[in-house]
Amino acid sequence: MKKILFVASECVPFIKTGGLADVVGSLPKCFNKEEYDVRVILPKYMCMKEEWKNKMNYLNHFYMDLAWRSQYVGILEMQYEGVQFYFIDNEYYFSGSKPYGNIFQDIEKFAFFSKAALSALPVIGFQPDIVHCHDWQTGLIPVYLKDKFHEGDFFRSMKSVITIHNLKFQGVWDMKTVRDITGLPIYYFAPDKLEAYGDANYLKGGIVYADAVTTVSDTYAEEIKTPFYGERLDGLMRARANCLSGIVNGIDYDEYNPETDTLIEKNYNIKNFRKEKIKNKRALQRDLGLEQDDRKFMIGIVSRLTDQKGFDLINYMMDEMCQLDIQLVVLGTGEERYENMFRHYAWKYQGKVSANIYYSEAMSHKVYAACDAFLMPSLFEPCGLSQLMSLRYGTVPIVRETGGLKDTVQPYNEYESTGTGFSFANYNAHEMLNTIKYAMSIFYDKRREWNKLIDRGMAADFSWSTSAKKYEELYQRL
């Protein structure tokens, strides 16, 4: 039996800000239970719903040194859907209304969390073969494992994996402060270790010291070796190319299933979507005050509102787009300029554009189920889960060919009648608009072809089955 510990800063259903939480919440369930004991350790944030906090059981506590500080580490636990979860409790670090706050606080928060997660293991009595870290928040773990922890028998043979979900976020702060916070010796603060461009960089530390590095699609694994996508670490990614691989994300096929989803108006499946899916569109048009018309080409967006997602292209084309026979439903929160941009267009094009500037699991399912197409023109996209959810709900993705979008959406080929969506290559607003227009022409003039696109998308398998096996192979190799 191989023992694996996932360490992450978010995880559904406990706490979520983006796709990382979906991955950490759904992947551990998908390993072969006979051969893998996969457990997960998370911070216990005060902002978690009471519903979850009430279900956690107190296990133990101790005090841990973090340089000159001595900090309380509480350990709570919970079994959920067959997976053992642990939560690190410390009210000083994990208070606040969101998991992440300003970077300075986060830098100390996740140094604490990373060290506490390791220090808790002997107390819990769980000795993983592999610690699987996710993103910069856990980047110090491979470093700590090679440092002090290495001296103890308990940790000596422990291997580590780090998965990069988004290279843009690296956890960067000045070296002096980070030395003071982490208690790591000066030796680590060199350009071949934790240092990058004069600052300390948590993610870099993880990438340098982990035994294997993965990211969430093949294309992104290649892209990050180039300056455009490399976020100033492309040299490091090239240097680590031998240890770097891409494993594409899956989604939870029970959670995202149009046949059983209780959050949507009308359930449907690959056989009856032609008749039933439209009922979701009608309901959403009604609920959002959009024009009640089956023939409008309804485009959905469910997203964090950041420049990563290509909203500059949409902004540039919005007036032209709204001259077409479309409806646009947006669900998202994030940067104020994009929130206000969509609010503005919703005001300008009433009945046509609906801006839902909030976070809602239920509404996201309704959008995936109701729309004809899903727009994701990302500037970069490590994997992307929204397009997978759309495919599952028979909503045709229109994407830019980058990262996981390129690997998961097969472009429509009208001559061979293949493909599951529409895509364009360059980060160019006119290319995007042309692709939308092309999709609309199939929707309006070749409905049978459109339905076959849906058929192929719904039949595609983006559950975790294939990718979980690839992680298993990686664990075996280490």
Residues at the site binding ligand GLC, with contacts judged by CB under 6 A = 18-20, 23, 165-166, 216, 249, 381-385, 404
Q: Is 13 exposed, middle or buried (0-12, 13-18, 19+ CB in 10 A)?
A: middle
Q: How far is the CB of 249 from ligand GLC (least distance, A)?
A: 5
Dist. CA 185–CA 14, nearest whole Å: 35
What is the rounded distance in angstroms from the CA atom of residue 216 to the CA atom of residue 210? 16
- 19 vs 419, beta carbon nearer ligand GLC: 19
For residues 372-391, which are near ligand ADP according to CB under 6 A?
383-386, 389
Give every strand in the sheet of 69-80, ordered side by side.
57-66, 69-80, 83-89, 36-43, 2-7, 130-134, 159-164, 212-215, 244-246
Q: Which of 269, 360, 428, 451 binds ligand ADP (CB under 6 A)?
A: 360
The smaller minimum CB distance to ligand GLC, of residues 19 and 334, is found at 19
Cα separation, 241 vs 278, in Å, equals: 47
Burial 214-248 (b: 16+ CB within 10 A, else e): bbbbbbbbbbbbeeebbbebbebbeebeeebebbb
216 binds, among ligand GLC, ligand ADP, none (CB under 5 to 8 A by kind): ligand GLC
**Measured distance CA(455)–CA(446) in Å, rounded:** 14
Question: Which of ligand GLC, ligand ADP, none does residue 206 bind to, with CB < 5 to 8 Å depending on kind?
Answer: none
Binding mask 12-31 for ligand ADP (x = CB under 6 A): ------xxx-x---------
The closest of 217, 264, 265 to 401, measured between CA atoms, is: 217
Q: Which of 65, 81, 259, 361 binds ligand ADP (CB under 6 A)?
A: 361
Residue nearest to ligand ADP (CB): 19
- What's the closest the beta carbon of residue 472 comes to ligand GLC, in angstroms? 18
The correct pick among 138, 364, 390, 402 for binding ligand ADP (CB under 6 A) is 364
Residues between 277 and 316 that touch ligand ADP (CB under 6 A): 302-304
- Does 399 interact with ligand ADP (rule: CB under 6 A)? no
* 257, 333, 428, 451: residue in contact with ligand ADP (rule CB under 6 A): 333
Output the CA–CA distances (angstroms, integers) from residue 251 to 38, 109, 191, 289, 309, in the order listed: 18, 29, 37, 31, 19
Q: Which is nearer to ligand ADP, 74 or 421 (CB)?
A: 421
* Separation between Cα atoms, residue 464 and residue 470, nearest integer Å: 10
Q: How far is the CB of 165 from ligand ADP (least distance, A)?
A: 7
| Site for ligand ADP contains 457 (CB under 6 A) | no
Single-letter amino acid, residue 407:
D
Strand partners, 159: 130
Interface with ligand ADP includes 145 (CB under 6 A)? no
> d(Cα 478, Cα 161) in Å, to the nearest integer?
9
Alpha helices in 327-400 (DSSP H): 336-348, 361-370, 386-392
Which part of the chain contacts ligand ADP (CB under 6 A), choosing from 61-69, 134-142, 330-338, 470-478?
A: 330-338
Which listed residue (297, 316, 359, 427) binds ligand ADP by CB under 6 A? 359
Closest CA to 21 of 120, 132, 165, 171: 165
Closest contact distance (angstroms) between CB of 319 and ligand GLC is: 28
- Does residue 248 belong to the site contacting ligand ADP (CB under 6 A)? no
- Structure-token pair, residue 200: 């300390």
Given 99, 139, 332, 457, the residue binding ligand ADP (CB under 6 A): 332
Binding-site ranges for ligand ADP (CB under 6 A): 18-20, 22, 302-304, 331-333, 359-361, 364, 383-386, 389
